Amino acid sequence: MSRKLRLGVNIDHVATIRNARGGRHPDPVRAARQAAQAGADGITAHLREDRRHISDHDIARLSRDIDLPLNLEMAATDEMLEIALRHKPHAACIVPEKREERTTEGGLDAAGGFDHLKPYVETLGRAGIRVSLFIEASREQLEAAVALGAPVVELHTGAYCEAEGERRVALLHQLAEAAALTETLGLECHAGHGLSFDTVAPIAALPEVMELNIGHFLVGEAIFGGLDSSIKRMRALMDRARDELDGEMSA
């Protein structure tokens, strides 16, 4: 039997819609509660330096009012470290951040940024926060994550989701190789970015992957069928891919 695959629901874009009018609706904390009821195993939120979606107050409320584990996505800055240490989320995923980007465009350069990242990984870890590094699927980055002492990596699935045809197959292969390598290196493997109903199954079928973090598509799809329905369908697609994998492994 492969391990259970957890779903972390990223509620950033509920806050994006709220902020378009500057009021309180729709409330990301209400979305997090609904996600919990729909089968999410965790809530993910990215407090960006420019506060374009999630606010400091959202993080305080999510930490206080939601029973599911909170995964705080954050840049490696002193400001974000101080916020993480104040709220002590279950996990902190360190992501690269550029103000001008529309979303987190590439993985963290864990190898090139080693000296900068080291104190953040250590301080978060010492505070009992499970640190993950959002990286591209490459041996160099995985080995840097090990050297940094991060227990978890999240593989960036954005390029795979955007690609088509043979290029998508090649990127999936790269993700599969990296996921297999996490096992050898003793890292827990997560994946996320850009995943949709169409792209989730092959990633859910990678046996080493233990958690997917999915946001934009789920919130977008909620416009048409509700958040409950979009999360339940995603959960079902993930579970089916995992069941098929178990069938293959026991055949």
What sign results for the dihedral spanned by CA atoms 57, 61, 63, 68? Answer: negative
| Identified binder of ligand PXP from the candidate list 72, 76, 91, 104, rule CB under 6 A | 104
Specify the 3-state DSSP secondary structure of 76.
coil
Joined together, the tokens standing for residue 173 give 């292969």
Residue nearer to ligand PXP on the CB measure, 1 or 6: 6
Length of the chain, please? 251
73 is catalytic: yes
Binding residues among 149-208 for ligand PXP as defined by CB under 6 A: 154, 192-195
87 is catalytic: no
Rounded to whole angstroms, the Cα distance separating 58 from 160 reads 31
Joined together, the tokens standing for residue 216 give 């934009």
Rounded to whole angstroms, the Cα distance separating 250 from 134 reads 32
Rounded to whole angstroms, the Cα distance separating 131 from 120 reads 9
CB of 94: closest distance to ligand PXP in angstroms?
Answer: 9
Binding mask 52-91 for ligand PXP (x = CB under 6 A): ---------------------x------------------
Binding residues among 14-43 for ligand PXP as defined by CB under 6 A: none
The verdict on 230 binding ligand PXP (CB under 6 A) reads: no
| Identified binder of ligand PXP from the candidate list 34, 134, 148, 209, rule CB under 6 A | 134
> Contact 37/179 with Cβ under 8 angstroms?
no
The verdict on 216 binding ligand PXP (CB under 6 A) reads: yes
Nearest to 249 by CA among 211, 205, 190, 200: 205
**DSSP letter at 107?**
-
90 is catalytic: no
The verdict on 12 binding ligand PXP (CB under 6 A) reads: yes
List CB contacts of 213: < 8 A, sequence separation 6 or more. 8, 9, 10, 44, 71, 93, 154, 190, 191, 192, 193
Could you say which of 193, 208, 211, 221 is catalytic? 193
Q: Of the listed pieces 15-23, 79-87, 173-181, 210-218, which binds ligand PXP according to CB under 6 A? A: 210-218
Contact residues for ligand PXP, defined by CB under 6 A: 10, 12, 46, 73, 93, 95, 103-104, 134, 154, 192-195, 213-217
Which residues does the annotation mark as catalytic?
Answer: 46, 73, 193
